[in-house]
């Protein structure tokens, strides 16, 4: 996690790499929020260049929520956002600055998931129709 934190603090040229780093952080947050904050606080204490890592991570995550695409990425983001809703903002001050952005991002992610599920369902219906057409044409 220390390597990820250090890489996150450096300039990230592509949004794909930044989203991957965010996803790794989100999974760790989702699995064990206490360990997530404990580890990042330790990283920040041991390396002065990462002092603002927690705040930067949350700000960047909230900014990039709209960039998550695909079912897996959106699910990871949704699980992380739901985890944030369960955490006491008084206990972790870094969360208190992003509280107004959590719910709108949740809605945006869930709407994106719904569209993705619908799109995948439409695609599978089209494939089924194509298969039916080939069977029918094979009998002729």
pLDDT above 90: residue 93: no
pLDDT in tens, 116-128: 899 888 887 777 6
pLDDT in tens, 104-114: 999 999 999 99
CA-CA distance, 41 to 45, in Å (whole number)?
Answer: 6
pLDDT above 50: residue 135: no
DSSP states of 74-86: HHHHHHHHHHHHH
pTM over the 0.85 mark? no
pLDDT above 60: residue 100: yes
Q: Residue 67 — φ and ψ, nearest 5°?
A: -85, -15
Residue 139, exposed/middle/buried by CB under 10 A (0-12, 13-18, 19+)? exposed
CA-CA distance, 107 to 111, in Å (whole number)?
Answer: 6
């Amino acid at each position: 996690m220390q390597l990820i934190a250090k890489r996150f603090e450096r300039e990230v040229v592509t949004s794909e790499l930044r989203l991957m780093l965010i996803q790794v952080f989100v999974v760790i947050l989702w699995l064990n929020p206490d360990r997530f904050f404990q580890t990042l606080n330790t990283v920040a204490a041991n390396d002065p260049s990462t002092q603002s890592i927690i705040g930067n991570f949350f700000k960047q995550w909230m900014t990039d929520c709209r960039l998550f695409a695909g079912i897996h990425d959106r699910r990871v983001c949704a699980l992380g956002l739901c985890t944030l809703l369960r955490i006491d903002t008084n206990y972790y001050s870094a969360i208190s600055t992003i509280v107004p952005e959590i719910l709108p991002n949740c809605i945006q992610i869930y709407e994106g998931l719904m569209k993705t599920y619908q799109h995948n369902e439409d695609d599978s219906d089209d494939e089924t129709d194509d298969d039916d057409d080939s069977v029918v044409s094979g009998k002729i």
